Amino acid sequence: MNILFIADPLASFKIYKDTTFAMMREAQKRGHQLFVCEPHHLVWQSGQAVNAQVQQVHLTAKQEDWFEVQGVHADCALHTFDAVVMRKDPPFDSEYFYATHLLEQAEREGAKVFNKPSALRNHPEKLAILEFAQFISPTLVTRDAQAIRAFHAVHRDIILKPLDGMGGMGIFRVKDDALNLGAIIETLNREGAQTVMVQKFLPAIAQGDKRVLVIGGKVVPYCLARIPQGGEVRGNLAAGGKGVAQAISARDQEIAEAIGPALAQRGLLLIGLDVIGDHLTEINVTSPTCFQEIFDQTGCDVAALFIDALESASA
């Protein structure tokens, strides 16, 4: 197979933990040819298919200089690849949004894109949980500052976060004393201009914010519990959390089996569910991670499971 990965610049990868790198390494091990580009390389013009300037790369197995460019190809139509894997990291901004439309046009021309562009648009990572409200903790989504204050008055210990944050960015906890609640609302809400998600604080975060992976509708048997460190409320690895791989619980399995197959039918080959205790907190669809951490600690080869699913879906 010829596989095109649309991602951030390869030079920015931390290969000891990067999930896209793990996917590429497994694909190359199986003899597949690797091509890469960034979203800004996508082009459409009247009378032509969606195309991109792409690099063909080979992974070297070195820590430094870990890839080599074997060729640069201009105007490669996306439908000529056996699979196109969209792995651009968040934020899901206007440019990401536009890229999904170009990728959807490429689909109309015959390209096979994973995750499906329309499904990426239709499942914003924080709001996607609303469809599965039976699994979530008390949650409020609003622009109304007074509604946030009323929610705090009921639940007394809450988490506030922007809808477009990533890696734990912009997350605040407000305890019973309501210290700085007004300032936090002003920061996140911007006088009613920006929607905020507010959730009841879950003490189970002390045991970790679990990343449960579902590939092709099938639940990966191990998750990564990202445990807050040093007084932090955030377990995100980007915020200094410690990743501890563990077998998924019966509740994790229940949540994943209820959500994973349904989203797989919509074209989401890979999703990452965030679960704190018994509650779903987020559904990651853009570029779910944690493949390498789970493999390093358990031997469960998540990258192999993903390439198995990609090969099957692309056939």
Q: Are residues 277 and 309 in the same domain?
A: yes
CATH number at residue 191: 3.30.1490.20
| Rounded alpha-carbon distances, angstroms, from residue 207 to 224, 251, 252, 262, 288 | 11, 15, 14, 28, 21
Q: Is the pLDDT of residue 238 over 90?
A: no
Catalytic residue numbers read 126, 161, 211, 226, 234, 274, 282, 284
Residues 178 and 214 in one domain: no
Q: What is the mean pLDDT of the chain?
A: 95
In a domain, 132, yes or no: no
Which is more confident, 170 or 82?
Answer: 82
- Shared-domain flag, residues 18 and 73: yes
Same domain flag for 196 and 269: no
Domain edge (last residue) among 146, 175, 201 = 201
Residues 208 and 298 in one domain: yes
CATH of the domain at 34: 3.40.50.20
**196 and 210 share a domain?**
no
Task: Examine residue 127 and state whether it is found in any structural domain, yes or no.
Answer: no
- Do 229 and 196 share a domain, yes or no? no
- The per-residue pLDDT for range 58-96, each reduced to its tens digit, is 999 999 999 999 999 999 999 999 999 999 998 889 999
The answer to whether position 126 is within a domain reads no
Last residue of some domain: 48, 81, 114? 114
The domain that holds 274 is classified in CATH as 3.30.470.20
Question: What DSSP line would sit under 123-177, residue for residue?
Answer: --TTGGGGGGGGGSPSEEEES-HHHHHHHHHHHSSEEEEETT--TTTT-EEE-TT
Reported as a single tens digit per residue, the pLDDT across 275-286 is 999 999 999 999
The pTM of the whole model exceeds 0.85: yes
Q: Do 42 and 72 fall into the same domain?
A: yes
CB 306 within 8 A of CB 23: yes
For residue 120, tell me if it sits in a domain: no
pLDDT band at 220 (very low <50, low <70, confident <90, very high): very high
Interval 128-140: pLDDT, tens: 999 999 999 999 9
Strand partners, 86: 6
The model's confidence at residue 48, banded by pLDDT at 50, 70 and 90, is very high
Residue 31 in any domain: the answer is yes
Q: What is the pLDDT of residue 4?
A: 98
Query: How, if at all, do strands 51-59 and 67-77 pair?
Result: antiparallel
Q: pLDDT category, 30, cuts 50, 70, 90?
A: very high
| Per-residue pLDDT reduced to its tens digit, 173-204 | 999 999 999 999 999 999 899 999 999 999 99
Closest to 221 measured CA to CA, from 297, 278, 284 = 297
Whether 131 maps to a domain, the answer reads: no
- Give the domain extent around 48: 2-114
Whether 195 and 238 map to the same domain: the answer is no
For residue 169, what pLDDT is reported? 81
Q: Which of 164, 182, 201 marks a domain boundary? A: 201
Residues 11 and 101 in one domain: yes
Same domain, 225 and 249: yes
Band of the pLDDT at 251, cuts 50, 70, 90?
very high
Q: Is residue 144 located within the same domain as residue 181? A: yes
In the prediction, which pLDDT does 164 show? 85
The pLDDT assigned to 168 comes to 73
Confidence of residue 162 (pLDDT cuts 50, 70, 90): very high
Q: Which pLDDT value is given to residue 91?
A: 85
Report, as an integer, the average pLDDT of 140-167: 94
Q: pLDDT band for 170, please (50, 70, 90 cuts).
A: confident
Does residue 63 lie within any of the structural domains? yes
Residue partners of 149: CB distance under 8 A and separation at least 6 = 181, 185
Q: Is residue 128 part of a domain?
A: no
48 in Cβ contact with 18 (< 8 Å)? no
Count of domains for the chain: 3
Instruction: Return phi, psi of residue 248, to 5°.
Output: -70, 150
